[in-house]
Amino acid sequence: MRTARVSRRQSGARQGRALTGPAVAVLASAVATLSACGGGGEAPPPTTAPPPPVASVTVSPAGPSVVVGQSQQLTATLRDQSGNALAGRSVVWESGGELVATVSTTGMVTGVAAGSATVTATSEGKTGNATVSVIPAPVISTVTFASVAAGGAHTCALSASGAAYCWGRGESGQLGVPVPTRTCPTDGGPFPCSPVPVPVQGGLAFTQLAGGGAHTCGLTSDGTAYCWGSGESGQLGAGPSASREAPVAVATGLRFASIDAGAQHTCALTSEGTAYCWGRNDRGQLGDGTTTARSGPVAVTGGHTFRSIAAGGFSIGHTCALTTGGDPYCWGDNERGQLGNGQSDVTAHPEPARVIGAFTFAALTAGLGRHTCGLTGTGAAYCWGDNGFGALGNGSPAASPVPVGVRGGLVLTQLIAGGFIGHTCGLTAAGTAHCWGDNEVGQVGDGSTVDRLEPSAVAGGLSFSSLDAGFRHSCGRATNGAVYCWGSGGAGQLGINSTNPALSPTKVVGQP
């Protein structure tokens, strides 16, 4: 083989030397032509400015908390001298305390032992760092819950003795505890959170809880209302107030029989059926005939005697209530027809108006969204308002400003409207749960992420005694005494000691 390769090289050399006579003339002519056309040499390559060097490195979050054995993603942002973000540069990650926290080549930090460690990101000689606090895994006590209430991105529950526990997003105090040191990668976050139930401070015993957008309220046995969490719109009812991390009494001498919390407002009924609301009111969701926010309870106008009330709304808010005769009235925001008055508009509706149609309902739910649903005495479900992903359950994605029947012929005993884009859940007398609507993160609970335009059975074969729904998650108390949640978990709102979503019911930690 070696001899053959040498022979080919020698043959080529001899052929090269054989270019004489006419061949040389042709080659000379070609060179002359190229020279005449300016092809005597290659044009110099275009000059480009060198890429700007890295001037600064910023690591975010700068002070994350990580539970032992769990991980959180860190991000390094590189900028040049002018503050412009740079991409495509190499970053080296290092942990200054690997016995406390390790970090991967991509910035994923993992807690090893309780303590503090500095994690550094380096690029082109510039560094940024984050101080990582590693906290022990929570000690989870076993508790049986008697009821569950879902808020925006948090959830609360009551024990049989009336003790309140909450879990999920907690930066505004909505968990009823000091702002947690743990962070969760929720949408728009990360935010402080607790992915496991924590006891609400104060030692109060409640008979009822209601979860709002970022606040929580409860009633004690004597009808006193307490709220905690975000209070910038007056939704805590305790006067002009910032956020509260512990229950604060609503500023009134009134005693209430029921309470419900909307996005940024709260409403309650006295035992005589008089409705009071407080908080944000830019669309008239307090029903007092004005659009003025209130930091304490104001009576709903109209002189109606109500037997139930439901406060809803994803960001602005609307309210609906049932009279003692079952007539539905609504007020507040109506951008998607959620008041059921036959129209959709962005004007304020500050006084109760009856929902169109000859319907009378046994139950009503407004939920943390822009749709409303009612349940007749025979168990037939009707919904109205926003319907982009099927929250009305009538087989169509079109919004409806008047009640439309939920398909499937189910006979339901409970109906719950969820929020954000919108989903709805219902419960049969046998305890079978069905949900429909937006299902992007599994809040329908049927094991999929397929949006449902009509009811779909919740997976798992569980029997439930009650349900509730938040922005993008759902929860239920099973007849076996355990609470299960499903849907979005990015804020820890599922209570399963994880920030992953769950496409079907998953037991809250510490449950029997």
Interatomic CA distance for residues 157 and 317, integer angstroms: 24
In a domain, 19, yes or no: no
Predicted pLDDT at 41: 53
Q: Which domain holds residue 119?
A: 56-135
Whether 36 shows a pLDDT value over 80: the answer reads no
Please state which of the ranges 31-40, 164-173, 220-229, 474-483 shows the lowest mean pLDDT.
31-40
Look at residue 478 and give its three-state secondary structure.
Answer: strand
Tell me if 282 sits within 8 A of 315, measured CB to CB.
Answer: no
User: Where is the domain boundary, 135, 169, 185?
Assistant: 135
Do 60 and 198 lie in one domain? The reply is no
Query: Do 386 and 277 sit in the same domain of this protein?
Result: yes
Residue 54 tokens read as 């890295």
Q: Band the pLDDT of 139: cuts 50, 70, 90.
A: low
Residue 430, class by beta-carbon neighbours within 10 Å (0-12 exposed, 13-18 middle, 19+ buried)? exposed
Task: Give a yes or no: residue 21 inside a domain.
Answer: no
Q: What is the mean pLDDT of residues 83-88?
A: 93
> Which residues contact residue 8 at a Cβ distance below 8 angstroms, ignoring those fewer than 6 apart?
none
What are the start-end ranges of the E strands in 389-462? Answer: 400-405, 412-417, 423-428, 433-437, 452-457
What integer pLDDT is reported at residue 420 of this predicted model?
87
At residue 30 the predicted structure's pLDDT band, cuts being 50, 70 and 90, is: very low
Better-predicted residue by pLDDT, 169 or 9: 169
Q: What is the pLDDT of residues 430-439, one digit of tens each?
A: 999 999 999 9
| Overall average pLDDT of the 442-461 stretch | 98
122 burial level (CB within 10 Å; 0-12, 13-18, 19+): middle
Count the Cβ atoms, other than its own, within 10 Å of residue 398: 9
Provide the percentage of residues in the chain whose pLDDT is more than 90: 77
User: What's the rounded Cα separation, in Å, for the pair 141 and 282?
Assistant: 42
pLDDT value at residue 444: 98
Quick one: which of 78, 69, 79 has its CA closest to 110?
69
Q: How far is CA 327 from CA 285, 298, 355, 358, 380, in A?
A: 18, 22, 8, 9, 15
pLDDT at 25: 40
C-alpha dist (Å) from residue 73 to 160, 332, 491: 39, 41, 15
Neighbours of 454 (CB within 10 A): 17
What is the structure's pLDDT at 37? 44
Q: For residue 43, what pLDDT is reported?
A: 64
Q: Tell me, yes or no, whether 257 and 390 share the same domain.
A: yes
Which has the minimum average pLDDT: 27-36, 266-275, 292-301?
27-36
- 294 and 395 inside one domain: yes
Instruction: Identify the three-state secondary structure at position 214.
Output: coil
Whether 9 shows a pLDDT value over 60: the answer reads: no
For the domain that residue 123 is a member of, what is the CATH number?
A: 2.60.40.1080
Residues 465 and 383 in one domain: yes
Q: How far is residue 370's CA from residue 301's CA, in Å, rounded to a whole number?
A: 22
Q: Are residues 369 and 453 in the same domain?
A: yes
Q: Are 89 and 236 in the same domain?
A: no
Strand order, beta sheet including 101-103: 71-73, 108-111, 101-103
pLDDT digits (tens, 9 = 90+) for 184-222: 888 777 899 999 999 999 999 999 999 999 999 999 999
Question: Residue 477: inside a domain, yes or no?
Answer: yes
Residue 301 has pLDDT above 80, yes or no: yes
Q: Is the dihedral of CA 478, 481, 482, 485 positive or negative?
A: positive
Residues 101 and 162 in one domain: no
120 and 164 housed in the same domain: no
Say which residue the tokens 């032509």 belong to: 33
Indicate the residue among 87, 115, 135 that finishes a domain.
135
Asked if the structure places residue 503 within a domain, the reply is yes
Residue 63 — pLDDT band, cuts 50, 70, 90?
A: confident
- 174-189 burial, b at 16+ Cβ within 10 Å, e below that, comes to bbbbebbebbbbbeeb
The verdict on 104 and 184 lying in the same domain is no
The average pLDDT across 32-45 equals: 50
Listed in sequence order, the residues at least 6 apart from 379 whose beta carbon sits closer than 8 Å to its beta carbon are 410, 411, 412, 413, 429
Higher pLDDT, 22 or 439: 439
Across the range 459-466, mean pLDDT stands at 97
Rg (CA), the chain: 32
**What span, in angstroms and rounded, lies between the C-alpha atoms of 95 and 122?**
11
Higher pLDDT, 10 or 492: 492
Specify the number of domains making up the chain: 2
All residues at 6 or more sequence positions from 403 whose CB lies less than 8 Å from its CB, including other chains: 340, 355, 356, 357, 359, 374, 382, 383, 384
C-beta separation of 185 from 206 below 8 A = no
Q: Are 474 and 443 in contact (CB under 8 A)?
A: yes
Residue 96 has pLDDT above 60, yes or no: yes
User: In this structure, is residue 418 part of a structural domain?
Assistant: yes
pLDDT of residue 364 exceeding 60, the answer is yes
Task: Give mean pLDDT, residues 168-183.
Answer: 92
Return the closest-CA partner of residue 489 out of 468, 510, 475: 475
pLDDT value, residue 183: 85
Residue by residue, DSSP assigns 217-242 as EEEETT--EEEEE--TTSTTSSSS--
How far apart, in whole angstroms, are the C-alpha atoms of residue 257 and residue 259? 7
Q: Could you tell me the CATH number of the domain that includes residue 285? A: 2.130.10.30
CB atoms within 10 A of CB 160: 11
pLDDT digits (tens, 9 = 90+) for 310-356: 999 988 999 999 999 999 999 999 999 999 999 999 999 999 999 99
In angstroms, rounded to a whole number, what is the distance separating the alpha carbons of residues 64 and 356?
A: 51
**Is residue 255 a part of any domain in this protein?**
yes
Contacts of 59 (CB under 8 A, 6+ apart): 74, 75, 76, 77, 107, 119, 120, 121, 128, 129, 130
Q: In DSSP terms, which residues pair with 6 in a beta bridge?
A: none
Mean pLDDT (the chain, rounded): 90
Same domain, 167 and 263: yes
Query: Is 501 a member of any domain?
Result: yes
Do 121 and 221 reside in the same domain of the chain? no
pLDDT tens-place string over residues 250-262: 999 999 999 999 9
135, 165, 186: which is the final residue of a domain?
Answer: 135
Strand partners, 78: 57, 86
Q: Which residues of 487-496 are buried (b: 16+ CB within 10 A; e: fewer)?
A: bbbbbbbbbb
At residue 138 the predicted structure's pLDDT band, cuts being 50, 70 and 90, is low
Q: Is the pLDDT of residue 56 over 70?
A: yes
pLDDT of 51 above 70: yes
Give the residue among 284, 227, 230, 283 at the shortest CA–CA distance from 259.
227
**Residue matched to tokens 């991980």:** 71
CA distance 510 to 487: 19
| Token pair in block for residue 296 | 């304490």
Percent residues over pLDDT 70 in the chain: 90
Phi then psi for residue 27, to 5 deg, are: -65, -40
Classify residue 39: in a domain, yes or no.
no
